[in-house]
Homo-oligomer: A and B are copies of this chain.
Amino acid sequence: MSTLHIYNTYSRNMEEFRPLHPSRVGMYVCGPTVYGPPHLGHVRGPVVFDVLRRYLEFSGFAVRHVRNITDVGHLVGDADEGEDKLAKQARLEQIEPMEIAQAYTLSYNEMIRQMNVLPPGIEPRASGHIIEQIEMIQAVMDAGLAYEVNGSVYFDVFAYAKNYDYGKLSGRVLDDLIAGAGNESRELEGQDEKQNPNDFALWKRANPEHIMQWSSPWGKGFPGWHIECSAMARKYLGDVFDIHGGGMDLLFPHHESEIAQSTACTGHNPARYWIHHNMITINGQKMAKSLNNGITVDQLFAGNHPLLEQAYSPMTLRFFILQAHYRSTLDFSNEALSAAEKGLQRLWNAVKVARNLVASESGEYDVQALAKECRVSMDDDLNAPQVIARLFEAARVANLVNDGKMKLTATQITELNALFETWLVQILGIAPEESSDHRALDGVMQMLLDMRVQAKQDKNYALSDSIRDRLTALGFTIKDGKDGSSWSL
């Protein structure tokens, strides 16, 4: 049974988490639009919802985690070439949107892998669910809540608002919205077709330069952005499911529109818990082209962006993200990232120390209570920063015992090791870095080369020759130069 309490954006309340099915949880999280390399704005959501998933699985639930890939967009061919030329171009010479989508899906999933985020159980592509989207649009029309104009279909927000609470999730008031029209970038073209500027597109007629288009009852076109999530969540999780997640920037219009679409078809808000993580800033500012602070994840890992003083590893990034509560803003800075790196290193050192502690007859610390407190923190709206604070407390204990300043029984030492394994590795998902072998090898080889120099100075040529010969046999090449020796494998 779950003891989790979580903040539901829809009700604006902390709520006890009670899933629809006793042992299963359905969770839909909005995924990336795959038309660019993953940047710092893409990484927080996957980590936050990965920890939620890991915690639910730790709590005994089978989680069906669905995260979509948005590969349908407003990509158009080169307009200057004109429609005739485009039509004449051979298929192989045209831009192929799916080639772009595939490349960025791969780089997104590589980022996911590096970040130790568990892959979702289902990763549906918008382009792969056109039929489902058409069927859902038809259902909205059948309910009298959408209308067709010139081959495009729009959701009728006013008609919907007569019976349902449009704006409840995002806290927007329809009357206020009427002033500010055209919230959705994809729809810049269709404003004059709408009965009301707040109506949003369910289906857009494709002009000839649109290179992604499909047949529909309304002619050739492509789906609006919001309908994909409604259709795919419904297909894989049912009319009503447990959790719908995403970033706060998606509250309006995306998630508000999703609720409207699903409600139009089924009469229900599709998700029982709407969970949103807050946004990121960089040195206190929003990410913006004009500020030149759009750091990609690869740039962070390589340290090659003007705003970065060094490279930060994937696990440093993950740890850094989890040090802030998911509903707080997360500010990237060299100082904060570097502090996270040092903090994580302190934890790993304590993990190693804890493995080799010597047991005493009696113990002086209640490790079990500390583990229970981790659970209490997590149950309190996924308070990962508080879990991390408790891990540092566990590290303090490990170091005290190692220094002979505190005693633990053998059972308590086992519990301490289990606490790190469960909370640091299993639930927060912080894995030992992949390159640790390489770093360790580098350290050991330097040590051996130093020993060889020392042996030569001591005229212990048997030892210095033996080091060289054995390294050569292992496949190493040792080069002696003016500034000392170097090695390669």
B489 touches A436 (CB 8 A): yes
- Complex Cα gap A463–B124 (Å): 60
List of B residues within 8 angstroms of A131 by Cβ = 130-131, 214-215
List of B residues within 8 angstroms of A308 by Cβ = none
A373 at the interface (CB under 8 A from B): no
Distance between A161 CB and nearest chain B CB, rounded to angstroms: 29
B interface footprint on A462-476 (CB within 8 Å = 1, 0 otherwise): 010011001100111
Distance between A371 CB and nearest chain B CB, rounded to angstroms: 24
- Complex Cα gap A475–B98 (Å): 46
Which residue of B has the minimal Cβ distance to A349? B475
With contact pairs A92-B238, A437-B437 given, residues A102 and B128 touching in the complex (Cβ less than 8 Å):
no
Q: Which of A154-196 contact B (CB under 8 A)?
A: none
Q: Which of A117-131 contact B (CB under 8 A)?
A: 119-125, 127-131
Distance between A460 CB and nearest chain B CB, rounded to angstroms: 9
Q: Which of A434-489 contact B (CB under 8 A)?
A: 436-438, 440-441, 443-445, 447-448, 451, 463, 466-467, 470-471, 474-477, 488-489
A352 touches B96 (CB 8 A): no
Distance between A108 CB and nearest chain B CB, rounded to angstroms: 13
B477 touches A356 (CB 8 A): yes
A78 at the interface (CB under 8 A from B): no
List of B residues within 8 angstroms of A339 by Cβ = none
A236 touches B477 (CB 8 A): no
A93 at the interface (CB under 8 A from B): yes
A241 at the interface (CB under 8 A from B): yes
A475 touches B92 (CB 8 A): no
A215 touches B135 (CB 8 A): yes
Partner of A21, one of B93, B98, B440: B93
List of B residues within 8 angstroms of A254 by Cβ = none
A26 at the interface (CB under 8 A from B): yes
List of B residues within 8 angstroms of A451 by Cβ = 463, 466-467
List of B residues within 8 angstroms of A259 by Cβ = none
List of B residues within 8 angstroms of A92 by Cβ = 20-21, 24, 26, 64, 237-238, 241
- Complex Cα gap A422–B432 (Å): 35
With contact pairs A102-B123, A119-B106, A131-B214 given, residues A448 and B441 touching in the complex (Cβ less than 8 Å):
no
Distance between A442 CB and nearest chain B CB, rounded to angstroms: 9
- Complex Cα gap A103–B122 (Å): 8
With contact pairs A238-B91, A470-B447 given, residues A477 and B355 touching in the complex (Cβ less than 8 Å):
yes
Which residue of B has the minimal Cβ distance to A125? B128
A90 at the interface (CB under 8 A from B): yes
- Complex Cα gap A471–B450 (Å): 13
- Complex Cα gap A443–B121 (Å): 39
A84 at the interface (CB under 8 A from B): no
- Complex Cα gap A474–B443 (Å): 7
A81 at the interface (CB under 8 A from B): no
- Complex Cα gap A96–B106 (Å): 24
Partner of A441, one of B128, B236, B241, B444: B444
List of B residues within 8 angstroms of A436 by Cβ = 489
A403 at the interface (CB under 8 A from B): no
List of B residues within 8 angstroms of A121 by Cβ = 96, 99, 102-103
B interface footprint on A72-99 (CB within 8 Å = 1, 0 otherwise): 0000000000000000001111001011
List of B residues within 8 angstroms of A470 by Cβ = 447
- Complex Cα gap A125–B69 (Å): 13
List of B residues within 8 angstroms of A122 by Cβ = 96, 98-99, 102
List of B residues within 8 angstroms of A475 by Cβ = 349, 352, 440, 443
Distance between A386 CB and nearest chain B CB, rounded to angstroms: 28
A-B contact pairs, 13 of them (CB 8 A): A20-B90, A91-B237, A91-B238, A102-B123, A127-B128, A128-B128, A130-B130, A355-B488, A440-B476, A443-B475, A444-B448, A447-B474, A451-B463
Beyond A440-B475, A451-B463: 18 further Cβ-contacts under 8 Å?
A21-B90, A21-B92, A21-B93, A90-B238, A91-B236, A92-B241, A96-B121, A102-B119, A127-B128, A135-B215, A352-B477, A436-B489, A444-B444, A444-B474, A447-B448, A447-B470, A447-B471, A451-B466
